[in-house]
Amino acid sequence: MRSPVQSFHYVGEVMAAGIRAGELKVQGFPTDTSEIVLAGPSPTLRFSEDAMVLVANPGERSLSKWCSFRVGDVIPRAARSGDRLEATRDAQGRVVVCIYRGEHLVVAIGALYHASLGPDVHAEGIPGIPAARRARVTVCGVQEELHARESARVGPYDVYVEFPGESNPYGEGRSECLSIMLAADGALVNSARRSAVLMANQDDDPLCGELADGTMIKSGRRIP
C-alpha cells in the first residue's frame, strides 16, 4: 500500500560549503505551491550513507518533519559547487534525482521515463512481454535500446537499465529504474549504476521518516 504522503519537486543549488567527503547538503529553493507538501516548501536535502534525507525547515507547513529514500552515493560524489540539483517524487511514488551543470545533465537516477532530462537527453519505455521489455534512451538524436541489466555508451553518457518497468492495462506496476551518467569518470559510472540497483531493489514504497504529528513511517507505512 502506497503511503498517503505523495509528491514533491525540489530544486536547489549545490554550494561549496555543503560538500563534504561522502556527503552533500543542499538548501532547496522555495516550491511554488499552495499545498502542504511532503517536506515543506524549502527543505534541506542531505545525502549520506546511500540515503537522500529531506528535512523540513522549522516554522514551515509540512506533512513530515523529515523523510528519506535510498538513492545510493552517486549524487554526493558527482556534485560540484554551482550545480543544480532536482529531486522529484510523483503521485505514483516514482523518485528521480538529477544534477545539472548549466543546462546539461550530469547524472540522473531513478524512474526516468517521465523526467525532464535537459535539452539533449530523453528516456522512454518500449512495451512488450516481460522478457522483451526495454528502455530507449536518446542523446542528441542517437538512440539505444536496452533490456534489464544492460548498459551502453550513448553520446557522452553511460546508460544503465536495472529494470525497464512494467505495467498492466491500468498503468499500475513496478517502476523503471535507470542511471544516466557522464562517462568520463569510470568510478562515478560504477557509482551511478550501483545507485540504480539500490533504488530498484527495495520496498514497493521506500519512504521512511517522521510525520508532522510525530508518527514514524517505514516503507510507506505508519509505525504504531
Compute CA 43 distance to the chain's CA centroid, rounded to the nearest angstrom: 16
What is the tens place of the pLDDT at every residue in 187-220? 999 999 999 999 998 766 778 899 999 999 887 7
Residue with cell 543546462: 103
7: left (phi over 0), alpha (psi -120 to 50) or beta: beta
Compute CA 31 distance to the chain's CA centroid, rounded to the nearest angstrom: 17
* Residues 8, 87 contacting (CB under 8 angstroms): yes
Phi, psi of 200 (to 5 degrees): -80, -35
User: Is the pLDDT confidence value at 138 over 50?
Assistant: yes
pLDDT for 5: 43
Q: Residue 122: pLDDT band by 50, 70, 90 thresholds?
A: very high
Beta pairing class for 177-182 and 104-110: antiparallel
User: Is the pLDDT confidence value at 51 over 70?
Assistant: yes
Task: Sheet with 142-146: list strands edge to edge.
Answer: 121-126, 134-139, 142-146
Distance CA 62, CA 91 (A): 17
> What pTM did the predictor assign?
0.90
Percent helix, strand and coil across the chain, each to the nearest 5: 10, 45, 45
pLDDT for 3: 47
Return the minimum-mean-pLDDT range out of 14-18, 66-70, 91-95: 91-95
DSSP 91-111: TT--EEEEEEETTEEEEEEE-
Compute CA 147 distance to the chain's CA centroid, rounded to the nearest angstrom: 20
Q: What is the mean pLDDT of residues 128-150?
A: 90
pLDDT for 41: 84
Average pLDDT, the chain: 88
Tell me which long-range contacts 131-138 makes (C-beta under 8 A, separation of at least 24). 133/164, 133/165, 133/166, 134/161, 134/164, 135/161, 135/164, 135/165, 135/176, 135/178, 137/178, 137/180
pLDDT for 169: 54
pLDDT for 6: 66
* Residues 70, 46 contacting (CB under 8 angstroms): no
Distance CA 78, CA 85 (A): 11
Q: Residue 8: pLDDT band by 50, 70, 90 thresholds?
A: confident
User: Is the pLDDT confidence value at 1 over 60?
Assistant: no
